Structure 1
């Protein structure tokens, strides 16, 4: 008699989600772009061809390697109005954008998750206070809110993170609260409650693992928006201050030279566009892979 092949072990929900994600070519390519930019940002001090703050007015507004006759050897993407290497500033500027986005989204995800868990499970006055605070913050336009806080606190990297976190946590909170409201009626939560588990145990040990997937998806989506906000504040002069390079401030520096030296503003603008688009496409792939409601029939 022929031997019967042993059945393959069933994949866990996380394993199935990862398999669906890897089959999404657009999401994988977009994620590779994001990881590539992150790698450039980490290795910026070693791979940047020039010092990003080294100014030389003799090479002011020199053109990129493919354009014009005023190309400066070793400055492949040209120079800005102060003669600083644009390529090196783009590489170092990626560190600012990604570090601000990671810090803001990470801190906001922790605060929003804890607040959403408490509001969704405890209900009562906790839910009322958290919900009213969320509704109040939602009433302020994001950029206006951030500009007001930065005007009071002053420019700087730490103040950018604080100003954006004070608004950003509400988006995670709303998602987690909704997921918690649905989870608190599930059988496993009822069983834990019947066994006498404390609310803290139920929220952190029973409900939290089941809301991490939507938190991951929301955090990835929000990173793109935070990058745009940081660039907007830097463009207005309220972000990271010179001589530290930032993509938003680089766009601002070149707005007076759009006709004669379009690359000064266009190149950092294209970097913002490419990174934000890649993050959005990657987060869309994450949502499609980890949302079980999209795969109930599979």
Structure 2
């Protein structure tokens, strides 16, 4: 009669051990309350960007000089139709912030997607093939890292001109070196492990080994770093738009909204403040969520 509970008890550790690493990492992530709250904020901004035409109370480009620098609803002269007030051209500030989220999130996602794809390929080639391939890629990375990121982007924008496509290219030109360095280091560590040597011994091609044996084992690190870098790209886009060489009017951009209000910071503080708060909230949420991903999915932290 006492053997049944003993058997069940013996089975429970093995059942726990059988839990997949991905599911175990996801469970650790969901237990992190700060990371989950930050993820909810990021999701809220994402939904706001997707459904901007339906949730914005006004046309973001519709100007009314009679409402120039109208105060928010809780101040004297404010009204509910324009809850966060209006800018210097009488455009609804809340609507422009909502549509500005589309620009920031789209540029951040596009730059990270391009840079990660290029960086992963370059890092795999550099770390696995070594030799002259590693030398060439490493020297290019070193040259790009010698330039401050923002100054490098400003120089490229000055040559290419402002615009949505150009700002994506200007930021992606250097962003790829971050995942490249990560993947190169991880690949150099994995190219000598037993399962990679076994695949090489049975005649597996370099392309097969990189794609099927190495890449799946470093993908979680790449995702975490790419998510973290998206916050940095959003700040750079806002900086370029603030300087007037990023997204051009009348397209709403958080950086340009902050720049538009700097001349009225004492009399109409809301023009710059609410846009700056939106940047702060999104970047902080992405950073906290990325840290939670790293803590949950990095196996070296749970050895």
User: Which of 221, 225, 232 is the matching residue for 2:228?
Assistant: 221
Q: CA deviation at 1:158?
A: 0.4
Write the mapping of 1:85-234 to structure 2, written as runs, cut at 5 A: 85-234=92-241
Please state how far the C-alpha of 1:47 moved relative to its aligned partner: 0.7
1:49 aligns with 2:57: yes
Q: Does 1:269 align with 2:276?
A: yes
CA distance in 1, matches of 2:98, 2:190: 44
1:209-257 deviation line (CA, Å, top 9, x unaligned): 0110110011011000000000000001111111110000000000000
Does 2:242 correspond to 1:235? yes
Residues 1:14 and 2:43 aligned together? no
Residue 227 of structure 1 aligns to a residue whose secondary structure is helix
For structure 1, list consecutive stretches of 5 or more residues without a partner in the other structure: none
Kept after mapping to 2: 8 A contact 1:65/1:76: yes
Structure 2: gaps spanning 5 or more residues:
none
- The alignment's TM-score, normalised by the length of structure 2, stands at 0.96
* TM-score, normalised with respect to structure 1: 0.97
Tell me if the contact between 1:193 and 1:202 (Cα under 8 Å) persists in the aligned partners.
yes
Deviations along 1:108-140, whole A, 9 cap, x unmatched?
001000000000000000000000000000000
Pairwise CA RMSD of aligned residues? 1.0
Structure 1 position 72, deviation (Å): 3.5
Q: What displacement does 1:21 show?
A: 0.4
Alignment-derived partner of residue 296 in structure 2: 289
Using the alignment, how far apart are the partners of 2:184 and 2:171 within structure 1? 21
How much has 1:71 moved relative to structure 2? Answer: 1.1
Partners of 1:59 and 1:72 within 8 A in 2? no
Length, aligned pairs only: 295
For the residues of structure 2 that align with 1:260 and 1:72, how far apart are their CA atoms? 18
